[in-house]
Amino acid sequence: MKIHREGFVIILVSLLILSGIQIGNYFLYLYTDWLWLYILLSLGVVAMVYLIVQFFRVPNRSCNFEENDIMCPADGKVVVIEEVEETEYFKDKRIQISIFMSPLNVHANYNPISGIIKYVKYHPGLFLVAWHPKSSTDNERSTLVTQHKNGREVLFRQIAGAVARRICFYVKQEDQVKTGDEFGFIKFGSRIDLLLPLDTTIDIKIGDKVKAKMTKIGELKAK
């Protein structure tokens, strides 16, 4: 396991702030002699350090998928599988799969298929809770489309939630990407949407807990 680069500054600043709080807690204990309060505040500081560090963790995982497999791009829970009208890029009907990431999940995001990035766009927006039906269209988000070598395209969208305040992505149009390579990161609670062709074979169901680089979403049919 390693710490994601997006977390270095936040972890450092958090440690400085929490160290200051703990120093103040120690002097408060010397002044009041309230051992119970000192222990309670100390446990709170330790818990905060743990939560912040674990949020930016990146576990070591291997990625072994067949050529047409669609890999899960994020850790989380499947909250939506439905047919929708995609209005930004395809402008037709697609299967939408939405994965909700809680603050306790790994928040690095990975390419679900290999291919060429054909579309990248960042959208400023609102910060509705990530499971809100309009979060896909109204929240801050990024939209990316990868074209597989078999000619099919997959759209995946990073969506900020009520707590998430920064979406990071590291690819640009015409980049060649591989399944399992990291393409981005979302800070603090969020959602990933996949928009797939209607004939895609789906291997997961609503309520499933999925993991990036380990769970197979489905299989992309060749044209």
- 111 φ/ψ angles, rounded to the nearest 5 degrees: -65, 125
CA pair distance 187, 56, nearest whole angstrom: 9
Please state, as a whole number, how many other Cβ atoms lie within 10 Å of the Cβ of residue 81: 18
Q: Which residues are catalytic?
A: 190
CA pair distance 182, 2, nearest whole angstrom: 14
- Token match 């990625």: residue? 63
Tokens matching residue 56: 């930016």
CA pair distance 170, 120, nearest whole angstrom: 10
